[in-house]
A = this chain, B = another copy of it.
Amino acid sequence: MADTLHTPTEDLHAVLERMGTQARAASAALAKAGPDTRTRAIGAMADALIAAESDVLAANAEDLAGGKEKGLSAAMLDRLALDSDRVASIAEALRAVAELADPVGTEIARWTVPSGLDIARVRTPLGVIGIIYEARPNVTADAAALCIRSGNAAILRAGSESLQSSIAIANALRAGLASVGLPEDAVQLVQTKDRAAVGHMLTGLNGNIDVIVPRGGKSLVARVQAEARVPVIGHLEGLCHTYVDAGADPQKAIDIVVNAKMRRTGICGATETLLIDEAIAADLLPAIAAALTDAGCTLKGDDTAQALVTNVQPASEEDWRTEYLDTIISVRVVDGVEGAMAHIETYGTSHTECIITEDQETAERFLAEVDSGIVIHNASTQFADGGQFGMGAEIGIATGRIHARGPVGAEQLTIFKYQVRGTGQTRP
């Protein structure tokens, strides 16, 4: 990877512009390579990663030493740390992506028009994807593999605390690409801790980055969304709601709410606000609250919730807007499905919302009218995940309004073109 390392005398913007040019050239080769070559490439990336284990662990030890010096929390150090098992599981994740269906060139639709033209809409790669993420070494491999699977070149910007690990992993991935005859510049990693590199990427590098995918906390994503001059696919927040309707089965409601909140509190599909129909709140909220409390959850609620359940702290306006990512839930008693949908429209982030009810008509109305990427009936919001959707690996969940919403997997990293087959037609 020496050719993308820059010396202190080279201007950072020039380095990134060169990476953009290299990525564009590599993306054309990658798109033409065909699905079997891309599959072999991802397998070779996994092999090369295993072969580079000692380099990767040595680099990771440097990152960990730097992280301890910097005073990173135990949780952050744990996310950063690699060992032989973790390297093996990163390689396994690569092999799983190699087994995903290759979307490039697949026909989405085909029809014939009265002029006799045969029109086919087929998937093509997006081109070059810029991925900006935090200090999680596995993302380097996961994101690169998903880009290769979809025929896209990747420019990766890893969190600075994981830079050495990410460089070592990227070097291995590039060696894997080269081993099957693909350009190693299909995967490039920005090799500096200088945060100005992010700003350069957000300019689109002279049109050589087609889309930016931010993965990380709110401040990173907010910066990307505010500054990017190219399209951004991702999400800022997952402030997910679960609404328990008067028609809910009580046991399903308890099970789903506890799972939606507490299974893993730190993921974007975790429920943050429980909405409950006033018609059933007195009967059902105490049992749901008890189950949440037993599971270790703190409750904040509106006046009615506080009146119905002891130990509910008052919820402020700010609480309805807070993605806790913690063992806290806000609870609001609402006037039926209308009240629930109005609350979601005001406070939701278009990520994932759930209704629990046995009333099919109400459920279908909620599914039709709630304007979020994922709307769920009678199941936990924690299913908001590409793998759980049967889509394989994902690069994140999109909450924007163009290109894709919901889990962003290999298929969502493509666009399409029209292939038109004629027999000499001219237009009258």
B425, A380: Cβ atoms under 8 Å? yes
Min CB distance, A242 to chain B, in Å?
12
Given A115-B383, A126-B401, A376-B422, 4 other A-B residues pairs in contact with their CB atoms under 8 A: A117-B388, A119-B389, A256-B424, A383-B420
- Which of A233, A255, A368 counts the most chain B CB atoms within 10 A? A368
B424, A252: Cβ atoms under 8 Å? yes
Interface residue from B105, B372, B418 paired with A406 (Cβ < 8 Å): B418
Interface residue from B249, B371, B374 paired with A418 (Cβ < 8 Å): B374
Chain B residues contacting A211 (CB-CB under 8 Å) are: 401-402
Interface residue from B249, B369, B380, B402 paired with A426 (Cβ < 8 Å): B380
Q: A18 vs B256: C-alpha distance in the bound complex, in angstroms?
A: 40
> Is the C-beta of A263 less than 8 angstroms from some C-beta in chain B?
yes
> Is the C-beta of A419 less than 8 angstroms from some C-beta in chain B?
yes
A255, B426: Cβ atoms under 8 Å? yes
Within 8 A of B (CB), among A357-381: 363, 367-369, 371-380
Chain B proximity mask over A332-360: 1 for CB below 8 Å, otherwise 0? 00000000000001000000000000000
Question: With A231-B231, A402-B231 given, is the CB distance from A375 to B417 under 8 Å?
Answer: yes
> Is the C-beta of A210 less than 8 angstroms from some C-beta in chain B?
yes
In the complex, which residue of chain B has the Cβ closest to the Cβ of A369? Answer: B32
Q: A420 vs B382: C-alpha distance in the bound complex, in angstroms?
A: 12
A424, B390: Cβ atoms under 8 Å? no
Interface residue from B373, B405, B415, B423 paired with A402 (Cβ < 8 Å): B415
Q: Which residues of A come within 8 Å of B, CB atoms?
A: 28, 31-32, 105, 111, 113-115, 117, 119, 121, 124, 126-127, 210-211, 231, 233, 249, 252, 255-256, 258-260, 263, 345, 363, 367-369, 371-380, 382-383, 388-390, 401-406, 415-427
Chain B residues contacting A418 (CB-CB under 8 Å) are: 373-375, 389, 405-406
A371, B423: Cβ atoms under 8 Å? no
Min CB distance, A356 to chain B, in Å?
9
Q: A403 vs B28: C-alpha distance in the bound complex, in angstroms?
A: 20
Q: A114 vs B390: C-alpha distance in the bound complex, in angstroms?
A: 8
A-B residue pairs in contact (CB < 8 Å), sample of 29 = A31-B369, A105-B368, A111-B390, A113-B389, A119-B390, A126-B401, A233-B402, A256-B425, A259-B426, A260-B426, A263-B427, A363-B421, A367-B421, A368-B419, A372-B417, A373-B418, A374-B417, A375-B418, A375-B420, A377-B419, A378-B423, A378-B425, A379-B420, A379-B425, A380-B425, A380-B426, A382-B426, A402-B403, A403-B403
A263, B376: Cβ atoms under 8 Å? no
